[in-house]
Structure 1
Amino acid sequence: MKKLISLALFSTPALAVENNQLDLATTLGSLIFVIALILAMAWMLKRMRVPAFGQQKGLSVIRQLAVGTKERVMIVQAGEEQFLIGVTAQSVQLISKLDKPLQPQETEAASFTNQLTQLLKKHDNKPSV
């Protein structure tokens, strides 16, 4: 009986320490998992280029031209005015306000369709050999 009581007294702190370490490891592992999940979702949203949550009425990009890997020159329309801006990874700089506004360019899909149609017409007009 004395052995059983002494075994119970000495084994309980060891089990308590082991359970505390297990609880700490489980909590830490869960925390790391949640942080990794948040970072992965943020990376996915950035890659998918999801538009901003707020509406951007009255503000649009009319034309843009890439001048480097992360540098662009854009014409932006805000209300009735148009601005020529330079955009880099670190900043956005106003280059000039346009005196004569440009008309919005047709969409890329329509432009591609027009180019494809012109190529097909050229191909049909060639004399066959």
Structure 2
Amino acid sequence: MKKLLPLLLTGLSLPAMAAPPEVNVSTTLASLLLVIMLILVLAWLLKRLRLPAIQGDSNMKIIKQLTVGQKERILLVQVGEEQLLLGVTQHNISLLNKLDQPLPEPVVTRPEFATQLGKILKHDAKTK
């Protein structure tokens, strides 16, 4: 017992654990905002790049689609040199027709709203 008492006393006299470092709230918030901005920029870049692996096979693409119901569509699909007319429902995909003569692919034009908005934004950029 006499030998345990000095050990207990020396154990009690050990220096206390170091105080935790001070947390700087502004630095923490700035770091958090930087990480969030980085995530948003990377998401925007991935959306803009439209990588081929995400888009799918380039030999197969939807030329045109027509909505005929809430979840029903008719699709004109280009597969290689052939065009297929497909009926698509929530539970089924049916071949409606195989076109003998392929229809020309529509020319992609910007909608009127997008064109006008682009002009306004360019004009605003020039005036600044």
TM band (smaller chain): 0.3 to 0.5
When you count helix as a share of all residues, which structure comes out higher?
Answer: 1
The normalised TM-score by structure 2 is: 0.44
The normalised TM-score by structure 1 is: 0.44
